[in-house]
Chains A and B, each alone.
Chain A
Amino acid sequence: MRHTLSELTGPVYGHEAVREGDNDLTTQHKGEPRGERIIVHGRVLDEDGRGVPNTLVELWQANACGRYVHVVDQHPAPIDPNFTGAGRTQTDANGHYRFVTIRPGAYPWGNHHNAWRPAHIHFSVFGHSFISRLVTQMYFPGDPLFPFDPIFNSVTDEKARARMISEFDLENTQPEWALCYRFNIVLRGRNATPMENM
């Protein structure tokens, strides 16, 4: 179909959707969550490589033991009372975002015999228009579970799969405090072809 204003415009947010500290998942409760503290940052870009400013980035994830707080998750690993696993932020004028969180654990999911999800963080991003909307998952480099995970491999092109894997970022790793991973997210532009999942 031809795009009309319905498809080519999209929600715009002031800062009211994001509260101070919503991008730090380690300070939402009385105590500090268990696990390995990490920084996850990057840029939201359009297909021309330009940063997408002031756009909302939401994430959710399992805790360090691979357990979600979601009521349906029955994986027998402990819930962490100091970790919900949800965050949001807005990109800055250059499209940059930054979160502080805990590295999520792998978890079994019963899809097939001995099925384990590689550690991942779910991302939800808006972009310039309602059709640039993206929900994806960020993975960690070198995960041995990659070859066995049907969700990761639902993206059939190897190069496209690689774009879901964050890079270890030593330069932005904070000494004595937290490792850093960089995850850039590229959204469809206004003239993109219909989304196939590559």
Chain B
Amino acid sequence: MADITPSQTVGPYFAYGLTPNGKYAWNDAFTNNLVTPDVTGERIRVEGRVFDGDGESVPDCMVEIWQADAQGRFADPQDKRALPNTSFRGFGRCGTDVNGGYAFDTIKPGQVADPDGKPQAPHLLLAVFARGMLVHLYTRIYFDGDAANAVDPLLALVPADRRSTLIAARKAATGSPVYSLDIHLQGDDETVFLGV
């Protein structure tokens, strides 16, 4: 067994390398738009703000998402069921703006079974990187109003009064649905982070 390389903070200056977004002489490897021309499924926007333990917004944070496609399949050969006929990658990256805001344009993922074969509710996996944090944090975003939330094995492990920190509210919007969820890194409203 080789010993793993320790994690270090992403620091305050990653934007020009990881999320340049037209502001620097470097191109983005990834954006916050996961929608590809050939992707099928319900187009959605997922957005929110990131807050620190004092309730201040975090303007220099990076949020990454990883998700299944609308059929519940991951664009990774390790998912043996993956469909080869779409260019949907299921990965997105977004640097927070001056108000701590993040947003992703994507499609609502389908259901994915857990290792026991029990269906999980549709969800995104998130990784949150920020100055001052030694290690990034993982959480999930579920979708308000999805009947499968009631039987999701992971949500069932979360105390009922904290579950709302993982479920994005559906905002009234014309066109594609917009789901909103704020992320609280610390404090009374702290998001439930996953010990993965």
Is B24 a contact partner of A5 (Cβ separation < 8 A)?
no
Name the interface residues of A80-125: CB closer than 8 Å to any CB of B. 84-88, 122, 124
Evaluate contact between B17 and A9: CB separation under 8 angstroms: no
Cα distance A136–B138 in the bound complex, in angstroms = 17
B74 near A163: Cβ-Cβ < 8 Å? no
- Dominant secondary structure of chain B at its interface with chain A: loop
Known contacts A68-B13, A124-B18, A133-B136, A4 near B114 by CB under 8 Å: yes
Enumerate chain A residues within 8 angstroms of B23, measured Cβ to Cβ: 71
Chain A residues, CB < 8 A from B4:
47, 134, 163, 186-188, 192
In the complex, A47→B1 CA distance in Å?
5
Most A-side CB within 10 Å, residue of B3, B8, B25, B60: B8
Q: Which of B1, B12, B77, B114 contacts A70 (CB 8 A)?
A: B12
CB within 8 Å for A69 and B5 given contacts A12-B77, A60-B14, A154-B134: no
Consensus secondary structure, chain A interface: loop
Q: Is the CB of A197 within 8 A of B7?
A: yes
User: Which residues of B are in contact with A by a Cβ distance under 8 Å?
Assistant: 1-18, 20, 23-27, 29-30, 60, 64, 66-68, 74-79, 89-91, 112-115, 120, 123, 125, 127, 129, 134-136, 138, 140, 154, 157, 194-196
Q: Which residues of A are in contact with B by a Cβ distance under 8 Å?
A: 1-12, 17-19, 28-29, 45-49, 56, 58-60, 62, 68-73, 84-88, 122, 124, 128-131, 133-137, 151, 154-155, 159-161, 163-164, 184-188, 192, 194-195, 197-198
